[in-house]
Amino acid sequence: MKNIIIGQYIPGSGFLYKLDPRTKIISVIVLMVAVFLLKSIVQLSIAMGLAILILIAGKISIIRIFRGLKPIFVLLIFTFVFQIFFNKEGALWVDETMTIGFVSITSMVLWTIIWRMLAKFKKFKMILFILYIGGLYLIMKYITYGTIFTTWQFLVYEKGVEMSFFVVIRLLIIITLSTVLTLTTKPTDLTQGIEKLMRPLKVIGISSEDFALIISISLRYIPTILDEANKIMLAQASRGADFAEGKLKDKIKQIISLLVPMFIIAFKRSEDLADAMESRNFVPGRERTRIHDLKLGRLDLLTGLATVLLLAGSILVRIYL
């Protein structure tokens, strides 16, 4: 629970920190669109290069971004594998006969058990996972003796490989861009930026101030709520509950025994909070001044310009290449 980081802002000094949040939000969105206009691996690789240049210019450690990728590692692998398996266009590159038989299934089960036993080395989770998948491949390919149940063809096509790289690189760029945004912008500034950008929605009756307030209060209370969940879990663990192990039925019971008190507390909290806000003269929809004031500077102009150029570039590439 402790390592869930909300709004993974990390203080720093690069130029990205000096930009107005509005500039960053818009630029990130525009650049994402630009990335989606690109259609070859070469173009995407250049875009990736540019993204890395932005990181370097903004003095952001690339390792940081990489660490941020960890949670979606599985998604990346899945995307990659999905493309390789299901895209059947272009030249046939790999054609392997895979065997499933008594001996190979036994081996796979053993291999899985070994993998699960090693799972306690959390640090090497990714490497172990890759080794595991690789192992399964080798088992199906080379363990061909004993009773054979069935065989299947492992086919990889040129386009499949290309597309899997294409999709994964694109995903990487998108994630890098959004990570840059949240890494260099304080949550308060981010909500402030969103609030200002949503101003025009007032015409259709959406109050951007209220919306921003809801976001910022949620941000403010997430750590408190997690802390509370931790306390309740500890209290219940001390009475013998075990959240890590146990049957599914027990787990569900324990989760319910966690959620019920959490909901009760949250309900009381929201009542208290409404009272506290009202007693400090908050009236929904009423004009308020703001302590955070956003100002656009020269840097924002330059960034905006660069963003527009990049978008124009990818539009041209899209049309002419």
Partner 1 sequence: MGYLDIEHLYFQYSSKRMILKDINLSINQGEWIAILGHNGSGKSTLAKLIVGLLQPKEGRITVDGVDLLPENVYDIRKKIGIVFQNPDNQFVGVTVRDDIAFGMENLQVSKDDMLKKIDFYATKVGMQNFLDKEPSQLSGGQKQRIAIAGILAMQTDIIIFDEATSMLDPGSRAELMEYIKELHQEGLTIIMITHDIEEALYADKLVILKSGEIYQQGDIPTLLKHPEWFKEAYLELPTAIQIYYDLKQAGHDNQELEEYLWAFSSSK
231 makes contact with partner 1 (CB under 8 A): no
- Polymer length of the chain: 321
70 makes contact with partner 1 (CB under 8 A): no
CB of 288 to partner 1, least distance (A): 5
Query: Whose Cβ is closer to partner 1: residue 158's or residue 275's?
Result: 275
256 makes contact with partner 1 (CB under 8 A): no
x/- track of binding to partner 1 for residues 144-173 (CB under 8 A): ------------------------------
Spatial separation of the C-alpha atoms in residues 68 and 180, rounded to whole Å: 10
210 makes contact with partner 1 (CB under 8 A): no
Q: What are phi and psi of 207, to 5 degrees?
A: -85, 110
DSSP string, 248-293: HHHHHHHHHHHHHHHHHHHHHHHHHHHHHHHHTT--TTS----S--
Query: Whose Cβ is closer to partner 1: residue 3's or residue 150's?
Result: 3
227 makes contact with partner 1 (CB under 8 A): yes
288 makes contact with partner 1 (CB under 8 A): yes
Spatial separation of the C-alpha atoms in residues 177 and 188, rounded to whole Å: 19
Task: Choose, by CB under 8 A, the member of 27, 87, 164, 188 that binds partner 1.
Answer: 188
290 makes contact with partner 1 (CB under 8 A): yes
Of 259, 224, 249, the C-alpha closest to 1 is 224
Task: Choose, by CB under 8 A, the member of 127, 273, 315, 321 that binds partner 1.
Answer: 273
How far apart are the two ends of the chain, measured CA to CA in Å?
48
Query: Whose Cβ is closer to partner 1: residue 39's or residue 288's?
Result: 288
295 makes contact with partner 1 (CB under 8 A): no
Per the CB < 8 A criterion, the answer to whether 95 and 141 are in contact is no
